[in-house]
Chain A
């Protein structure tokens, strides 16, 4: 409360004290005087509060305007209607082409496996034909590489804009908040689903063999060495 407001309230208090012992009925003049005193009080209060409220509203308007600019810079429509669907189509095409290539390579290998080596000439012709099929099928790698580059470009585009958005709107404080676990995350945690590991991550087949040996599997003679390997895994 400001000094000005105190002064005005004091005037209302004084008015009420001056009239507290009156026995006569309240007349129109009394009401007019009280109204005058209170109107002056309210008027002074509004005059003092208004600039602060106006400043706050202006600041909020400015923040909303900034946020709209930042959202516009995100190019959400571009991402939603063009880049992300396009990246999805590229990934679908990658899955499809690798599947097709794998099928071709395996079919060629199966044809070679099934060929009769007794007929040397026919066998050699079959092998040569199927090897050519394998070479041709491997061409998928070139196109797949180009498609992956486009998807990576889209991810970089999104990453750059979202990062700028977070920086400009100073959203970092929200990063520490624990997000609620989704159903998919719960399933992955409970069923220990990590997916494939990158090179150098996870454990190798040799380390797995050592661990299984240490648990009392097939090779009892290697328990000591296996335990060392396990210790390394947990180091």
Chain B
């Protein structure tokens, strides 16, 4: 299945440099419509206003974490099907298990490269 390079993607991270890195990587991969948010609360508000084809979120943010955002999205009937990739430095086994149980579609551990990001996006849309 070919990826829709026009689909809107929401990148959620409290570190502006990481948003910039992911934006550039997505641009390199051909994605043209990328939006961003600084934490889970801001991301959820944006998701209520606009339908995103994919959310790429960090875990550790304040006040609302990516893990909380994931659970909130999965409990929201309107948003529950949104593909969600966690991109985080949290690499303990319990984090991966908790994210999977909460309904994450894929999990990328930082630091990562463009190939990994591309592979995970493709895997999510191949499901």
Chain A residues within CB distance 8 Å of chain B: 99, 102-103, 106, 109-110, 113, 191-197, 201-205, 208, 211-212, 215, 217-218, 233-234
Contacts and interface: CB of A to CB of B under 8 A. Distances in A.
A233 B91 CA distance: 12
Contacts, number: 76
11 contacts: A103-B17, A193-B59, A197-B92, A203-B109, A205-B108, A205-B116, A208-B107, A211-B100, A215-B100, A217-B100, A233-B93
B76 interface: no
Given A106-B20, A109-B24, A212-B106, A192 B95 contact: yes
A112 B21 CA distance: 15
B90 A193 contact: yes
A203 B90 CA distance: 9
B123 A202 contact: no
A202 B91 contact: yes
Given A195-B90, A201-B91, A212-B107, 10 more contacts: A102-B17, A191-B67, A191-B68, A193-B60, A196-B91, A204-B91, A208-B107, A211-B100, A212-B96, A217-B127
A217 B123 CA distance: 9
Interface string B16-47: 01001100100110000000000000000000
Given A106-B20, A106-B24, A202-B109, A192 B98 contact: yes
Nearest to B127: A218
B48 interface: no
Contacts of B109: 202-205, 208
Nearest to A106: B20
B49 to A, nearest CB: 25
Contacts of B123: 217-218
Q: Determine chain B's interface SS by DSSP, over half rule.
A: helix
Interface in B58-84: 59-60, 65, 67-68
Contacts of B20: 106
Contacts of B97: 211
B4 interface: no
Contact of A194 (B24, B95, B126): B95
Contacts of B112: 205
Contacts of B106: 212, 217
Contact of A211 (B65, B89, B96, B105): B96
B17 A99 contact: yes
A46 B70 CA distance: 75
Nearest to A230: B93
Contacts of A195: 60, 89-90
A106 B25 CA distance: 12
Interface in B85-127: 89-98, 100, 105-110, 112, 116, 123, 126-127
A195 B88 CA distance: 9
